[in-house]
Structure 1
């Protein structure tokens, strides 16, 4: 099943995409949030009315996560282009949930920014509470689905003005475009073998694969559950591959650019950039 949300901010309608058709889930469903995911979502679209989504704003596919937990430096080639050694354990930082925007919404270049960067990332959405999981197999059981994310980053804020942590450069408004869909695990043959890419103004930037992760999805979820408790609806971002502006190979984003990120089977985002 693929879940999405359509409509203007604050007035989104939950929708299921199944076999090429869209179904209105509003009414008994409420929204695509932690409560809905904790109930297991839906297993059939029978009884839900078919709708036309043409011309509608595509909203973020999940509503109101309590937390966005992020893993840094999780691809060896990205570590190399960043001038860092691969970590022995997952590197963790946080983004504010209010950074989430839809897959085609405007992204704001922060005031004073000279180094706004893109990062295609595989997002993991929790469908169950997760704390002190016993194994990596158990970790896979708490996942409701996967989503494309752009973990936008302001590198001067993140590195030169960090004060010792990443979040200053990660939590600027609009810095987490998501979508277009939340895709349930049964639709993904192997989450560790998905092509990932990004483009700026139609020009290729990143082109890699989730198989290049240092720490797999299952390992990250299991590992992090030993240090924190996740709630249904929470979002975990799992790192980005090489090909970002931080490498020095490409210019940073500026107002008027369009930044795209995509993952095989999960769709893509395409966000215009504007000055905050």
Structure 2
């Protein structure tokens, strides 16, 4: 299943794609794509629907974040060895965890704001894990049982705020619009091998990132297991799993986003995003 949300910001409605890619309204079945909908019993109910009988969504409405109101928006840093090295760091011995404020969440094609005072706004394409069941102290062997599906994320970052303004990375990761998620959440049964997903990102049509999740240092199952040792994961939580090399910080010289530039990104099976950079 490909679940998504459409409509004006703050008033999105739930939807599902049918076999031809037509958007079908789910409002008569669920209230939203949120923690309740992502639980296993409801996901099973959705999987059993006659999707073709649901109302068509006409036109090309705005697409919102694939998941509504996640309790946690967690991120894994430096999870591709080449990316760690391009930022001047060694690959970590354990996953590096940080968070983005949930207010950073936005739609996959919404404008992205360059914060006031920013001169180092950067891009990061990432595979996102969407949790479907409460996970606490889960084993790596069982970890994928707690996953509802996967999505595409641009972990937009302000590098000076992140690394030079003191404290934790969260300051450089949490500006409004720094978390485009979607266009949809793909149920895990549709992804044959989550550790073999191609990723790409362009800036103004120039390829900047090309990667594959097979080169992650810590795979999806390990991340869910590992994080559950430190906090309880709940349905609807989102985990951004790290970015492959090619970020602006790693370019020579470092190159960052400017007002008016367009970032496009995509991943096999997870769709594509497009964002115009605007000044906050």
Question: TM-score, normalization: structure 1?
Answer: 0.96
Q: Give per-residue Cα distances to partners, 1:142-192, cap 9 Å, x unaligned.
A: 1001000000000000011132x2111001111000111100111111110
SS at match of 1:34: coil
Structure 1: how far apart are the matches of 2:166 and 2:279?
22
**Which residue in the other structure is 1:40 paired with?**
42
Q: Give per-residue Cα distances to partners, 1:72-114, cap 9 Å, x unaligned.
A: 0000000110110110100010101110110110100000000
1:255 and 2:259 correspond = yes
**Which residue in the other structure is 1:168 paired with?**
171
SS at match of 1:241: coil
**Which residue in the other structure is 2:202 paired with?**
199
1:217 and 2:220 correspond = yes
**Which residue in the other structure is 1:272 paired with?**
276
**Which residue in the other structure is 1:137 paired with?**
141
The alpha carbon displacement at 1:18 in A equals: 2.4
Question: TM-score, normalization: structure 2?
Answer: 0.95
Structure 2: how far apart are the matches of 1:188 and 1:54?
28
Correspondence for 1:107 among 112, 119, 128: 112
Structure 2: how far apart are the matches of 1:67 and 1:213?
22
Structure 2: how far apart are the matches of 1:40 and 1:151?
29
1:31 and 2:36 correspond = no
1:232 and 2:235 correspond = yes
1:110-189 correspondence to structure 2 within 5 Å: 110-133=115-138, 135-163=139-167, 165-189=168-192
Gaps of 5+ in 2: none
Does the 8 A contact of 1:40 with 1:127 survive in 2?
no
SS at match of 2:36: helix
Structure 2: how far apart are the matches of 1:78 and 1:171?
21
The alpha carbon displacement at 1:53 in A equals: 4.1
The alpha carbon displacement at 1:10 in A equals: 2.0
**Which residue in the other structure is 2:98 paired with?**
93
Structure 1: how far apart are the matches of 2:275 and 2:58?
19
**Which residue in the other structure is 1:19 paired with?**
19
**Which residue in the other structure is 1:79 paired with?**
84
Does the 8 A contact of 2:126 with 2:154 survive in 1?
yes
Does the 8 A contact of 2:130 with 2:148 survive in 1?
yes
Structure 1: how far apart are the matches of 2:257 and 2:83?
18
Of 257-266 and 109-118, the range deviating more from structure 2? 257-266
Q: Give per-residue Cα distances to partners, 1:2-22, cap 9 Å, x unaligned.
A: 001110012211011121232
RMSD between superposed Cα atoms in Å:
1.2
Write out the 4+ residue segments of structure 1 that deviate beyond 6 Å after TM superposition. Answer: none
Structure 1: how far apart are the matches of 2:97 and 2:32?
29
